[in-house]
């Protein structure tokens, strides 16, 4: 049972179970509840004095985040998303790990790794009146993934408050070093893709994946008027999505990450993506932070590395 402590509740365990038992062990009265979500998957519904959120244990994925004083969600979630084991949910903030993009070894493993495609374990929950923390864990999955042989422990801490905070920690539990790339594949909900600009990438070089990886540079604010798929390097500043249609700005800060991606499939490519409606591209932009492409993170035996990101809606 959750115990009442001075100022907050806390619960701890290392096993997954049915919805009822999850609520008994991890639920927090009037704030955090486990529910059966789409496809029968276990979801976590959070509501505190600062915000509401929806988290899927499948993929360890934030699906929704909305500050109390906001009219629309910060995150985009596709209405045609799949909700089943082995498939990724389109939208929210999927976790890409232990590689970002196509299988780096060409072994036909899933794009963006395998942790976004399977169930995570609840580790603990903690709450105050204004902030709720949920920690999930993905353990020893290399036993199921024949092409990943390195033991590891992956922990994801999500903080739902006035801002949304994510911390992904990789720990090497084996006796050999391994390297990873990783990212928070964030889908942001926008009023109209033609009425946004992305600030903070001015002067940054990028590799244009739609032009054979040609290296280019942004000199001004990035506007989106066609398909875009870019890997940015030396990203030092917090990024801001300035959304004129929704009359809001979303800030993305990742203090220990220097690479990022901006992606929108636009009209032609959207029609080829089964879990997107043809016009969904008009209402999302992916601005992703992480250690991407050549930004390899080497983790020695017993070592660990954390990826941090914080997302907030700026007040005018």
Q: For position 219, what pLDDT does the model report?
A: 86
Decide if pLDDT at 192 tops 50: yes
Torsion angle (degrees, nearest 10) of CA 82, 83, 85, 87:
30
- Asked whether the beta carbons of 244 and 196 are under 8 A apart, the reply is yes
Strand, coil or helix: 269: helix
Alpha-carbon span 27 to 4, nearest angstrom: 12
Domains located in the chain, CATH noted? 3-314 (2.70.98.10)
Kindly state the helix (H) or strand (E) to which residue 267 belongs, with its residue range: helix 266-270
The stretches of 223-274 forming alpha helices (DSSP H) are 266-270
Q: How confident is the model at residue 269 (pLDDT cuts 50, 70, 90)?
A: very high
Percent of the chain with pLDDT over 90: 83
Residue 171 in this model has a pLDDT that exceeds 50: yes
Phi (first) and psi of residue 23, to 5 degrees? -70, -35
pLDDT in tens, 211-240: 999 999 988 999 999 999 999 999 988 999
Write down the pLDDT at residue 105.
Answer: 86
Dump the DSSP string for 116-144.
GGSBPEEEEEEE-SS-EEEEEEEE-GGGT
pLDDT over 80 (residue 146)? no
Instruction: Output the average pLDDT for the chain.
Output: 91
Burial (Cβ within 10 Å: 0-12, 13-18, ≥19) of residue 7: exposed
pLDDT for 162 equals 96
CA of 201: how far to CAs of 68, 226, 241, in Å? 29, 18, 11
Mean pLDDT value of segment 32-60: 96
For residue 280, give the 3-state DSSP assignment.
helix
pLDDT-wise least confident of 80-89, 90-99, 242-251, 300-309? 80-89
- 55-81 pLDDT tens trace: 999 999 999 999 999 999 999 999 899
What pLDDT score was predicted for residue 140? 66
Angle CA 69–72–75, to nearest 5 = 115
Contact 193, 314 (CB under 8 A): no
From the list 182, 231, 187, the residue with the least C-alpha distance to 209 is 231
> DSSP letters along 61-81, please?
EEEEEEETT-SS-SB-B-TT-
Going by the DSSP 8-state scheme, the letter that residue 91 receives in this structure is: B
CB 174 within 8 A of CB 152: yes
Plot region of 242 (φ>0 → left; ψ -120 to 50 → alpha; else → beta): beta
Q: Which pLDDT score, from 0 to 100, does residue 141 have?
A: 64
Closest alpha carbon to 311 in 26, 45, 6, 53: 53
The answer to whether residue 145 scores a pLDDT higher than 80 is no
Tens of pLDDT, residue by residue over 8-21, are: 333 433 334 689 99
């Amino acid at each position: 049972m959750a115990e009442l402590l001075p100022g907050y509740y806390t619960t701890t365990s290392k096993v997954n179970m049915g919805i009822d038992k999850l609520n008994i062990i991890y639920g927090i009265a009037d704030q955090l509840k486990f529910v059966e979500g789409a496809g029968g998957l276990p979801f976590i519904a959070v509501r505190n004095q600062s915000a509401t959120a929806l988290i899927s244990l499948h993929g360890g994925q934030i699906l929704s985040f909305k500050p109390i004083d906001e009219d629309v969600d910060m995150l985009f979630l596709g209405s045609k998303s799949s909700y089943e084991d082995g498939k990724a949910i389109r939208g929210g903030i999927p976790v890409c790990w232990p590689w970002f993009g196509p299988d780096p070894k060409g072994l036909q493993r899933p794009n963006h790794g395998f942790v976004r495609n399977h169930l995570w374990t609840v580790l603990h929950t903690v709450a105050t009146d204004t902030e709720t923390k949920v920690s999930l864990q993905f353990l020893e999955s290399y036993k199921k993934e024949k092409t990943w042989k390195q033991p590891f422990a992956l922990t994801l801490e999500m903080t739902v408050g006035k801002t949304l905070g994510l911390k992904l920690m990789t720990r090497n539990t084996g006796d050999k070093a391994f390297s990873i790339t990783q990212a928070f594949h964030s889908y942001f909900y926008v009023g109209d893709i033609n009425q946004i600009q992305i600030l903070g990438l001015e002067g940054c070089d990028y590799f244009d994946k739609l032009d054979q990886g040609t290296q280019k540079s942004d000199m001004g604010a990035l506007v989106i008027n066609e398909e875009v798929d870019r890997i940015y390097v030396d990203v030092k500043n917090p990024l801001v999505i300035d959304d004129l249609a929704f009359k809001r700005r979303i800030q993305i800060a990742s203090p220990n990450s220097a690479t990022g991606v901006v992606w929108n499939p636009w009209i032609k490519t959207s029609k080829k993506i089964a879990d997107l409606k043809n016009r969904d591209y008009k209402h999302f932009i992916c601005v992703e932070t992480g250690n991407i492409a050549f930004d390899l993170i080497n983790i020695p035996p017993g070592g660990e590395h954390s990826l941090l990101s914080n997302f907030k809606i700026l007040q005018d």
